[in-house]
Amino acid sequence: MDKTVYICTGTCKAEISEEQYKDGLTKCGTQGCTHFGHTFEKVLNCHECGSYYRPGEQHSHLA
C-alpha cells in the first residue's frame, strides 16, 4: 500500500513522514533551500516505483 508522506518541492527535496508532520514539523527548515519556510506538500509515495503523486490523482505502471 502506498503511504502518505510530506515533501519539500524546493531544492532540498526533503521527505518527512505523516507522523513527523502531525508532530509539528510542517515547514522546510533547510537553510539555502529555495522553499525554506514553505509548508511541505502532502503526497503519496508509490511502494512499487518510489514515485510521488498527489492524493486523488491516478497512478499506474501501465505504459
Look at residue 61 in the predicted model and tell me its pLDDT: 87
Among 50, 51, 29, smallest CA distance to 40 is for: 29
3-62 per-position pLDDT tens digit: 999 999 999 999 999 999 999 999 999 999 999 999 999 999 999 999 999 999 999 987
Look at residue 62 in the predicted model and tell me its pLDDT: 77
Task: Identify the band that residue 1 occupies on the pLDDT scale cut at 50, 70 and 90.
Answer: confident
> Residue 45 and residue 63: Cα distance in Å, rounded?
19
User: φ, ψ for residue 30 (rounded to 5)?
Assistant: -80, 115
> Residue 63 and residue 59: Cα distance in Å, rounded?
12
Instruction: Using the predicted structure, report yes or no on whether residue 63 has a pLDDT greater than 90.
Output: no
